[in-house]
Chains A and B, each alone.
Chain A
C-alpha cells in the first residue's frame, strides 16, 4: 500500500561526472512525492537534464543513490525503472522511430510483454487523450512539432508510469500550443500522475508548477513553491533566471502591499483590492 505523501523517488548524495571528467552534479539530495507537479529550472548547462536522466535510471550516479519506488537504480534494470518513471526527451524526434503513430504508442507496452488486448486498450486511451486518434495511421514525421511532442508523451504514458519527466515540453511551440500542452500535463497530474518538467518558460512555471527546483552549477540552490522561488530574485539572478514579468512588476509594487503575483489575473485582483481604498477617498 502506498500513502499520499510517500516518497516515490529519493536522491541521496548524488554526484555525477561524465566519462570525460566533466562534473555535472554535486551532492544532490531530494525527494519527490506522489502526485507532485515539479519544475526544474536553471541556466543552460546547469545540470537540469543530467539530473532528470537519473530519475529513471538513464544515467547512474558516480556517487550516491537514486531510489525509485524502493529500487536502487544501481541494481535495477532499465526495463524495471523506465516502466515506473517515464522520460520524454527534449527533442521528440530523438525518441520517435516508428512508421506510424499507432506503432509508436504501442512500442513501450509491447516491450512490457502485455497482451495484444491490453496494448490496444492503452494505445487507444493515449491517442484519445492526446487528440491523435485521427492520425493513428500516419507517419510521425508528417505530424506538426506540437503533435510529435504529444505523441512522444503518449508513447511514454502507454507504459503507465507513475511519474513522468518531460524535458522542455513547449520548445518551439506558440502560445496556444504551449498552454494546451501544460493543460494536458496538469490534467495528468490531477489524475494522480507525478509530473516533472524542465523548462525555461517562467510564466508556465508560475502558472502550473506546485514546486520549483532551481539548479546552479550542478547543485540544487533553491527548492520551494513558485511563489517562494520568484521572491528570491538575488538567487535567481545568479542563475540567469528571472521571474515572469508580472511577478517582477508585483515585486516593484511591494511598497503598496503587493506580494508576488504569479499571473496577470492574480495581479489585477490585487490591484483592484489595493486601489479600492484610494477610490473611496476620491
Chain B
C-alpha cells in the first residue's frame, strides 16, 4: 500500500530566487523507512514540510504537482487533518514546544483529539519510557538540554499514534548513545507497528542499519534513490556531492582502491570486521 505518493512536485518559497524542489517523483510504501540525505539547503527539510502539510499551508510560495500522504491530498487539505495521520519531529525542538511542561506537551495532541484520559495516561507511560523522558515530566523547556528536548519532541509526535513519522535531523543534539537509541526506537516502531518513517539525517552509520531506501536530494532533485548497499556503492559520486560514507565503507574504498580484495564494500561494523578479518587471515 502506498503511504506517500509524490508526482512532479515543484515548490518555490515566496522570497526564493529559484525553486527549492524541482520535479520530485517518488512513492513510499506503508512500513517503509526512507532516509533523505544530502548537503544542507538542497531541499531535504523542504520536502519534509511538503509531506506534513506545513508547505503550502504555513508557508507562502508557489506549488505545482501532486502529493498524497496517508490517503490525504495534502495540498488541498489542512494541517489539523494531516496531523492526525502524520507526526513530525522538527530540526529545532524548541519550535515544537506549545505547552509549559513536558507532560502537557506530550498530551496536548491526544487531548485535542478527544482521546480518553486512561488511554492518554497509558501512552504517556510507555512513550516516556521509550524515549527516556520519565524523569522530566514536570520540567519546562528552559530546564531541558537540547537532547532532552529532542526526545520530548519524539514522544509528543508519537502520542498522536501517527501512521507516518517525519523526522528532520531528530538526533543532532543527542549524545552518541542517545542517537543510537532514537534509531533503534524508529526501527522498532517500523517493525512492530508497521510505522512509515521518513527521516532526514547525516548519521550514515545508523542509516545503513535501519533504512530500506536512501534518497539523495541535491539541488532540489532526487539524484539517487536506492537500498543502502547500492546507494553507498557510489562512493566517488557521493563524495563529489558532499555526502559522507559510513567510516567502515570509506575504509573499504580506501583499501580496495589498490587491492581489489573486497567483494563488496562493508556497510556495517560487523560486515567490515568480517571483510577485513578475511583480508588479514588470507594466506596465513
Contact = CB atoms under 8 A, between A and B. Distances in A.
Interface of A: 42-45, 90, 144-146, 168, 171-177, 200, 202-203, 240-242, 244-246, 248-249, 252-253, 256, 264-265, 267-268, 271-272, 274-275, 278-282
B263 interface: no
Interface stretch (B81-89, B157-165, B175-183, B188-196): B175-183
Contact of B242 (A175, A202, A278): A175
B242 A268 contact: no
B115 interface: no
Nearest to A42: B175
Interface residues of B, number: 42
Contacts of A278: 279-284
B181 to A, nearest CB: 9
B173 A44 contact: yes
Contacts of B276: 249, 253, 271
B9 interface: no
Given A175-B244, A249-B273, A253-B277, 17 more contacts: A43-B177, A44-B174, A171-B146, A174-B39, A174-B242, A175-B202, A175-B243, A240-B177, A244-B247, A248-B269, A249-B269, A253-B276, A264-B247, A268-B255, A279-B282, A281-B284, A282-B283
Nearest to A206: B247
Contact of B269 (A145, A252, A264, A272): A252
Given A252-B269, A278-B280, A44 B205 contact: no
Given A44-B146, A264-B247, A271 B41 contact: no
Interface of B: 38-41, 91, 145-148, 169, 172-180, 202, 205, 242-244, 246-248, 250-251, 254-255, 269, 272-273, 276-277, 279-284
A127 B273 CA distance: 46
Contact of A90 (B39, B146, B255): B146
A253 B273 contact: yes
Contacts of B205: 245
Contact of A275 (B145, B169, B280): B280
B148 A45 contact: yes
B228 to A, nearest CB: 15
B176 A202 contact: yes
Contacts of B179: 200
